[in-house]
Structure 1
Amino acid sequence: MTKMYRNLYYIHGPRVLRSVVEKPTGHKAVVYIPNKFEKFGDNVFTSLYCATSLVIYTSPLVLPLALRRGWFTPDGGILVFKFLTGLGLIGLFSLISRTIGRLQNPHYSTFIDVLANAHKEYTPKSKAVLERFDFQFKSWPVDFDVKEIEEVKARKVLEGSRSGSMLSVTDLLAKMLTNTVGMSLVYPGSMGVMGLLLETPLLEGRTKLHLEYNGTRSKIRTRDNNDIDTMFVNQSTKCNGNILVICCEGNAGFYEIGIMSTPLAIGYSTLGWNHPGFSGSTGSPYPEQERNAADAVMQFAIHKLQFKPENIIVMGWSIGGYTASWLAMNYPEIKGLVLDATFDSLEPLAIPRMPKFMAGIVKHAVNNYINLNVGEQLSKYSGPVTIVRRLRDEMISTSQLELDTNRGNHLLVKMLETRYPNLVCSEIRSSLLTILSQPIQSIDIELKEQEQFYHEYISENRSSFPCLIGEKMTEDEKTLMLLYLVSFYSILPLNLFLFFLPLILLYLVSFILFSL
């Protein structure tokens, strides 16, 4: 590496957050402390980044204001040019200050040597040395590129209906809404400001995964050239360690502080990943980029981590149910699917949260640009499923804390309609939703007869779906059978059973309800 090339790292290199040092008592994480010149430059760049992000997020409000104040006139253009020139000079001065600070910091020089060596020759040994540092993920070498896998093929995609005229006023407004505040509202974790506010908790989470669980961080490149930040914890020495749980986080969730802790606590090998645009991951969480990211993570698990799909459980939390159900639809041989606090469709949740006069635009934007059709994707998967419904979930309910408006109810009903078409008709569907509007534990009905009949039917007939049980049943008998299918596991708390059920009960619908 030439001296000139090395010096460039001091100019555009990543910001270091912490390092791991060896102590007599074991490894210890030490926070990286920049000197005053480097800190000044970092603070200015952070402030400029936050200001830019704020302008982008509020652009629908800023642009009309700019027009009224004449910013797009010749005189206004000169004023804007002077303003941007001033910002440019501030940025240049900050860059020089940060570079000088880094040149004077021996710890940063050590890091540069390690990073440059990893980029020059990326081996397990150089990666192990690189993992002693936590820094901006943009400079992390690529561990896995899905485009290098010959077996990658086109996947199933269930798209929403597209508008016939892409030049309509509604479509233009919907597209503007989606590309400005829309994605930030649906996926607040993609906001750069959110990443900055959570930088310390995320750093602490990664440090814990690395030091306590010996987690391995990797960069996965998708087919659309996004880089996805992942963390893998290998627990193969434990009783459940030969099973991998892939965790798909919520709309403000990160693997560092998300649902990875649940499977880790009970001994499963676990792979967490951040949505496109979240923390170290690049891109934006549009449905196509989400699908490509999830597919790359699955390919990484199969080809790099050497897990067979039959030994992989996919777990989705909240909006993570979209990518989780998409993976299940495209990899039907997986061990099981767990959907926790997940909805059936985004549209019923989005419209009530926006002003009424925007209902048409919101509906168009959701159906054409953010169509998270979890229910439809789940209906295409016939493998083991566990659905967890929260009793006090304000995020996936159209009315806060009202159980009858929880869209998890509709997700369950849609799955039952697909798997048991003879049990669910329009009248019974209405009755089933009424039943689901209250905690199942409060329903005192003996269902042992339905349990026995169901298992006898499954043993005598094929166990695949759609299951034709219910052909000769009355409506009351169908309702009781559906109630059994819904409440079969309602007495179980959220513990080991959450993960054992998909493994034990092949092709059985299981619906777990519990109170927080």
Structure 2
Amino acid sequence: MGRIYGLLTGPRLYRIFGQAERSTNVMELIGRTMDSEYRQFINLWLKAKNSGKSEHNEVLKRYDFDLDGVNADFVADQNANLWYHQGSPAYVGGPVTSCVAWYAIHAFGRHMLYPGSSALLNWFLSGSLLSARNLMVSSKHGRRAWLMSAEGDIIDTMFIRGEDNNPENSWVFPYLWLLSIYLVAVVLVRTWCAPLLYGKIREHPVLPGTLQSYHRSKTLVISCEGNAGYYEIGIANTPSQLGYSVLGWNQPGFGQSSGLPFPKNTLAAADAVMQYAKNVLGFREEDIVLFGWSIGGFPASWLAANYPNVRAVILDATFDDVLPLAQAKMPNVFSDVVEYAIRTYFDLDIGSIIAHYSGPIKLIRRLQEEILTTDDAGTESERRATNRANFLLKCILQQRHSALMVGLESQVDRWLAMTPEHRAKSLHPSNESELTIRRAKLFAACDHYLTDFDATHVQPLDPRFFNIPDPIHNLKHNYY
């Protein structure tokens, strides 16, 4: 059956032609058995396999090999209480549409959505990933672990403990100390001196997150990579540079993780990572930040929906729904097939999922975005207007501030097109009319939830833009 499936799904031939170093012809087998290091690896692998004990994995982790069949360091529990997004019924086009959609997804659709799971790319990057893993362990004292998800996949992870005395953060502490004194003084003046100066008491502002404890190593950032991202060379490096503890993981089929990145496998892997972070690494849910880049916003949002007490969610270059992006890349004649395929097999509706999370969240929009736009032929402003991160912001505003959005949705588009200078001015209403104040509050909400980063989709995030958001308590204070 496997041979028939392989013939039907052409790109899977990459497993044969793209991984020449893993072919098992007789001559190579003889050559390997004569290699002392390979014989040593086989002995270690057999010992770990037969013992059934995960402690023997530590020696094996020095080698680069397929993880199928290894003993997991941690086995995730089955959780029947997890919530899953149930989308609207897919377009029904009959048996022909169903068959074409199935073939398209398994032959090339999955590879287009998740190129990082293709054998060819894994083979091409294997050397770089191995070097990066070794560097993480040797220079950053990384702790590698193999987790078994509820779907039976082995998920390759790496944990790096943060450093509070990170040289990049050494300047922060005296600055924060002085800033704290200043802000406390402002609060006292506005609270107790305002009646004398203005004849009325105004509510004191909510202090910004700069006063929070800067023991960053006590905060764990779980990074969720994009469709061609790996923890070895991915987004986990940004929070790590800032001194946060980080837990990176490769999605099923990526790097050394087994399986394929279908939604149920990806979400099961994400849940295994969360269970490992809480039960083994010992982090509280309140001390965990979920950081998703691109399609990694899908598992990050789902984790937030199921673990609503996480400290915050940061979504960088993330879309609201994969369907408009998929349809934009395919001819219009296949629109119905694409809709059926996406809604049936890869219904990545992040906007609907994140609606089930009400905690702190920050979106990062790439100004030179070339992947998440649906109009590649227009002007720069027209292309930017079709960035699906814009629509994700609207989903969040509609869910959390629906009263502000009534009749003002077009103002969100206006704010998204503004320069930073115009945005700053828009926070100060020119008069006290209800509409003007409501619009100023809406702009304040936009400013709270979204930050622009002048970069392309794949450019690494500048650490200065990695800011853990605070809850939005009262929009009044954001524009006074």
- TM-score band w.r.t. shorter chain: 0.7 to 0.9
Counterparts of 2:217 and 2:22 in 1: how far apart (Å)? 51
TM-score (norm. length: structure 2):
0.76
Choose the corresponding residue for 1:418, options 396, 399, 412.
Answer: 399
Residue in 1 aligned with 2:127? 200
Closer, same or farther: CA 92–473 of 1 in aligned 2, 3 Å: closer
CA contact (8 A) 1:317 1:340 kept: yes
Counterparts of 1:219 and 1:492 in 2: how far apart (Å)? 34
CA contact (8 A) 2:364 2:453 kept: no
CA contact (8 A) 2:164 2:217 kept: yes
Q: Cα RMSD (Å) of the superposition? A: 3.1
Residue in 2 aligned with 1:282? 258
SS at match of 2:320: coil
SS at match of 2:141: coil
Residue in 2 aligned with 1:348? 324
What is the CA-CA distance between 1:274 and the residue it aligns to?
1.1
CA contact (8 A) 1:53 1:193 kept: no
Residue in 1 aligned with 2:416? 436
CA contact (8 A) 1:338 1:387 kept: yes
What is the CA-CA distance between 1:437 and the residue it aligns to?
3.3
CA contact (8 A) 1:242 1:268 kept: yes
One-letter code aligned to 2:143: T
What is the CA-CA distance between 1:275 and the residue it aligns to?
1.3
Residue in 1 aligned with 2:25? 95
Equivalent positions of 1:353-372 (< 5 A) are: 353-372=329-348
One-letter code aligned to 2:235: I
Residue in 1 aligned with 2:458? none
CA contact (8 A) 1:404 1:434 kept: no
Residue in 1 aligned with 2:49? 119
Is 1:387 matched with 2:387? no
SS at match of 1:229: strand
CA contact (8 A) 2:426 2:443 kept: no
Choose the corresponding residue for 1:215, options 142, 165, 168.
Answer: 142
Residue in 2 aligned with 1:447? 427
Equivalent positions of 1:10-409 (< 5 A) are: 56-57=9-10, 94-121=24-51, 126-138=56-68, 140-147=70-77, 152-163=79-90, 168-235=95-162, 239-400=215-376, 402-409=383-390
SS at match of 2:310: coil
Range with greater deviation from structure 2 (371-380 or 153-162): 153-162
CA contact (8 A) 2:117 2:252 kept: yes
Closer, same or farther: CA 258–297 of 1 in aligned 2, 3 Å: same
What is the CA-CA distance between 1:297 and the residue it aligns to?
1.0
One-letter code aligned to 1:478: R
SS at match of 1:135: coil
SS at match of 2:315: strand
- 1:299-358, CA deviations, whole angstroms, 9 ceiling, x for partnerless residues? 111112111111110000000001100000000000110000000001111111011211
Counterparts of 2:421 and 2:428 in 1: how far apart (Å)? 15
Counterparts of 2:100 and 2:55 in 1: how far apart (Å)? 52
Percent of aligned pairs sharing the same letter? 33
Counterparts of 1:226 and 1:247 in 2: how far apart (Å)? 19
What is the CA-CA distance between 1:394 and the residue it aligns to?
0.8
SS at match of 2:402: coil
Residue in 2 aligned with 1:483? 443
One-letter code aligned to 1:114: L
Counterparts of 1:144 and 1:416 in 2: how far apart (Å)? 39
CA contact (8 A) 2:298 2:350 kept: yes
Range with greater deviation from structure 2 (191-200 or 428-437): 428-437
SS at match of 2:49: helix
One-letter code aligned to 1:405: T
CA contact (8 A) 2:157 2:249 kept: yes
Unaligned regions of 5+ residues in structure 1, if any? 1-51, 60-86, 451-471, 510-516
SS at match of 1:153: coil
CA contact (8 A) 1:220 1:228 kept: yes
- 1:378-431, CA deviations, whole angstroms, 9 ceiling, x for partnerless residues? 111100101101101111111235110111011011101111111002x31122
What is the CA-CA distance between 1:501 and the residue it aligns to?
3.3
SS at match of 2:68: helix
Counterparts of 1:164 and 1:317 in 2: how far apart (Å)? 29
Closer, same or farther: CA 476–289 of 1 in aligned 2, 3 Å: same
Counterparts of 2:141 and 2:22 in 1: how far apart (Å)? 40
Counterparts of 2:464 and 2:239 in 1: how far apart (Å)? 11
One-letter code aligned to 1:234: R
CA contact (8 A) 1:249 1:255 kept: yes
Closer, same or farther: CA 168–263 of 1 in aligned 2, 3 Å: same
CA contact (8 A) 2:363 2:451 kept: no
Counterparts of 2:6 and 2:99 in 1: how far apart (Å)? 22
- 1:138-186, CA deviations, whole angstroms, 9 ceiling, x for partnerless residues? 3543111113x6xx33311112223486853222222221121111111
One-letter code aligned to 1:316: G
TM-score (norm. length: structure 1):
0.71
Closer, same or farther: CA 282–313 of 1 in aligned 2, 3 Å: same
Closer, same or farther: CA 188–417 of 1 in aligned 2, 3 Å: same
Counterparts of 2:462 and 2:128 in 1: how far apart (Å)? 25
CA contact (8 A) 2:366 2:453 kept: no
- 1:212-250, CA deviations, whole angstroms, 9 ceiling, x for partnerless residues? 112122211111111111111123665311111100000
Closer, same or farther: CA 473–153 of 1 in aligned 2, 3 Å: farther
- 1:194-217, CA deviations, whole angstroms, 9 ceiling, x for partnerless residues? 111112221222122121112122
CA contact (8 A) 1:441 1:491 kept: no
Counterparts of 2:242 and 2:424 in 1: how far apart (Å)? 32
CA contact (8 A) 1:236 1:242 kept: no
Counterparts of 1:247 and 1:348 in 2: how far apart (Å)? 25
One-letter code aligned to 1:137: L
Closer, same or farther: CA 340–163 of 1 in aligned 2, 3 Å: closer
Residue in 1 aligned with 2:468? 501
